[in-house]
Amino acid sequence: MPFAIHPWKLIQTGLDLEAIRLSESLMSAGNGYMGMRGNFEEDFSGDTHIGTYIGGVWFPDKTRVGWWKNGYPEYFGKTINAVRMNGVRVRVDGETVDLATLPCEDYLGELDMQSGVISRSFTVQTQKGKSRIAVRRFLSAAQKELMAVSYAVTPDHEAEVECIPYLDGRVKNLDSNYDETFWEMLQEEETENALGLLAKTRQNTFGTPRFAVAAAMSVWADELELKDKTLNEGYVEACYSGTVPANQTAKIEKYVLCFTDRDQNEKLLMTLALKAAARARETGFESLCETHCGVWRARWAACDVEILGDEKAQQGIRYNLYQLLSTYSGDDARLNIGPKGFSGEKYGGGAYWDTEGFCFSMYMAVAGEHVARQLLLYRHMQLDGAYHNARMQGLPGALFPMVTFTGVECHNEWEITFEEIHRNAAIAHAIFDYSTYTGDEGYALSEGLDVLCGIARFYAGRVHFNKRLQKYMIHGVTGPNEYENNVNNNWYTNRMAAWSIAYFCETYEKASEERRDSLGIASGEINRMREISETMYYPEDTKKGVFIQHDTFLDKDLMPASALTAEDRPINKRWSWDRILRSCFLKQADVLQGLYFLNHLYDLDTKKRNFDFYEPMTVHESSLSPCVHAILAAELKYHEKAVEMFERTARLDLDNINRDTDDGLHVTSMAGSWLSIVHGFAGMRTVNGLSFRPFLPGKWKGYAFQLLYRGRRLRAEIGQKSVKLVLLEGEALTLRLYDTSYKLKTTVSAALQ
């Protein structure tokens, strides 16, 4: 499918009917509150995945496994397809506009990242002639409940044109079990200026919340007249038709407002939606669109990353930032960042450790401390669920879930649900990251201390003491490399568990006596925690000078990924799971993930030896893999490898590198492209104050970015010969550039090294 390279747009020229789902994923849009795949407004009878999703609206789909074990989650939580909002059925001279069946010319689709507007134009051939169609759509960044569509038809002959905008609540999930539906239709209503419907997620047996959603539409038309309205169960439509002279344009503007009982009283939802839809029509498409675009212009003014000399990289980083900011705004602490955002249903749509592991640092620097704190509060609000998860495993403390909407684990694969206990450490690390970045330990000493305590108690309960080696160990885990399950003493898990316990003990000592007493920790318990953190076992090979991924990793048949044939790749699609588990190949960073998180604790030689050992065996079949390698490679001055890994994460979806973008975008991994530039190429570190150590990729002529840091706004500009740091807002601060300390008052410049 041809997509042009453009610094601010994703441009689709031509229509490939075999790749519609890929196009739908790439043209996805959202506003933090809701979003949708890039589905056509008009009917399409070909292969399609129609998807509209609302943040925080989900359903507990009963877990169905034939090997039920104690502690299994009762349900698999999944974000569910909501009422279809953008639909407009179109007929010209009685023929339905369907791009799967009608001849189509000059197809052009554009996602304008600068304005947040999606547009399409094409010409269709009917028996009586041709008609040019032009569509624009946006999900408002200024009014979260609003979606608007402008749909125009220009025939080259006198034509009978019908436009039938509709709302359809009779939707299903692509991943539903046994073709089940998740919605109960409650009400359809008509007013003079609007049509609406109300639906509610159906009853479930797990005691999880039900969600009510009301959507209403109002329509403005030119050259067409309202002929009829239809209200059926879960479906409403309005039919506009008329005779349109040759080369004249018939247009409708459709305004949809969607409200949920997450924010409003269920009894008021329909009235709110109907009135809001009518008001939107009075305001008009162009005015609403301009307000929406203004929000996007302000966003870009604060967070743009500029790359000179490489338009593919420029398009990639802006596309990723656009999708991230479309997915999560930080306005609602009850929401988080699903791995697919609003672009699909794969992985269920709940919060993973991806948020803390890969997104948190970016949002803190780009959107500010307030947004980062919202992400921290999300986990604190769900602490009770984390304690429940630990109890289900017969353990003390809090086990934060691998996947969740409420804090209760809702992933149904045992090797993940039971064994990927390293996710706790990512949440502890986010608190550490927030404290060191902002210089404010207020959160760590308040809500954060509760979270750190639960994590430390869990890890202290999960270890066992090995009398032979006089060390604490952790058996039966899956590390970040999911191509190994049920291993003993995964280095990353052990190291991050010990670090998390030590960080809690350190923070505990800083807390007030009253705050410490509230945790109910006896001196014996805190002393044991310190002992665990100080005497944890870490597998290591002193001859090779590397940390061993787990106890028996070196017993495998070790070989580089370059030994794999083209027919072997990707191994997750070509090999049996048994063969993958027995191989030495890594899905993503494991030991290296620890060296990234705890970067300040290890010297360059240690990082180099481990990078040289593990990266050649890594197949990077996780979307989360390339960025960690890019950052470490940059630090080690492996500049070509750093650029290679950045390009992979920056254009993972745009180039469909893993051949799975048709399922939806890899939204959480998109943060990795920003991390690769700022933490990698620019060498930004924040644990011990702010510092930079930039390099310039060989084919780039320069790059620049902005960040928020401790009440300041800074801009970094890296050119072919020099580095310039500019203080845009806030008081002067001290920072390091390469090995020199500077007091940044307005501008600091230095030669590029």
Residues annotated as catalytic (active site), given as ranges = 482
Phi, psi dihedrals of residue 746, rounded to the nearest 5°: -130, -60
Query: Is the bond preceding residue 60 a cis peptide, omega within 30 degrees?
Result: no
CA–CA distances in Å: residue 703 to residues 119, 137, 645, 699, 720: 29, 32, 17, 11, 9
* DSSP structure string for 579-639: HHHHS--BSS-SHHHHHHHTGGGS-HHHHHHHHHHHGGGB---STTHHHHHHHHHHHTT-H
Residues 596 and 492: their CA atoms lie apart, in Å, by: 11
* β-bridge pairing 52-54 and 305-308: unpaired
CA 674, 678, 681 angle in degrees (round to 5)?
110
Phi, psi dihedrals of residue 606, rounded to the nearest 5°: -65, -45
First to last CA, the chain: 41
CA–CA distances in Å: residue 266 to residues 34, 187, 377, 687: 18, 12, 26, 46
Residues 73 and 642: their CA atoms lie apart, in Å, by: 40
> Six-digit token pair at 741?
């300390």
Phi, psi dihedrals of residue 751, rounded to the nearest 5°: -70, 140
Exposure string of 269-307, with b = 16+ CB inside 10 Å and e = fewer, is bbbbbbbbbbbbbeeebeebbeebbebbeebbeebbbeb
CB-based burial label for 697 (10 Å; 0-12, 13-18, 19+): buried
Name the residue among 296, 312, 317 with its Cα closest to residue 138.
296
- Are 112 and 224 in contact by the 8 Å Cβ rule? The answer is no
Quick one: angle between helices 667-675 and 625-635, nearest 10?
10
Nearby residues of 637 by Cβ (< 8 Å), 6 or more positions away:
695
CA within 13 Å, CB half, 143: 21
Residues 427 and 455: their CA atoms lie apart, in Å, by: 9
Residues 619 and 559: their CA atoms lie apart, in Å, by: 12
Dihedral angle, C-alpha 185, 187, 191, 195, nearest 10 °: 0
Q: What size, in residues, is the chain?
A: 753
Given its phi and psi angles, is residue 691 left (phi above 0), alpha (psi -120 to 50 degrees) or beta?
A: beta
| Cβ-based neighbour number of residue 732 at 10 Å | 11
CA–CA distances in Å: residue 377 to residues 366, 448, 651: 18, 8, 31
Residues 588 and 591: their CA atoms lie apart, in Å, by: 10
- Are 307 and 313 in contact by the 8 Å Cβ rule? The answer is yes
Strands, sheet with 52-54, edge to edge from the N-terminal-most edge strand:
29-30, 34-36, 52-54
Residues 629 and 479: their CA atoms lie apart, in Å, by: 17
SS3 call for 486: coil
SS3 call for 417: helix
- Are 9 and 113 in contact by the 8 Å Cβ rule? The answer is yes
Helix/strand number for the chain, H first, E second? 22, 32
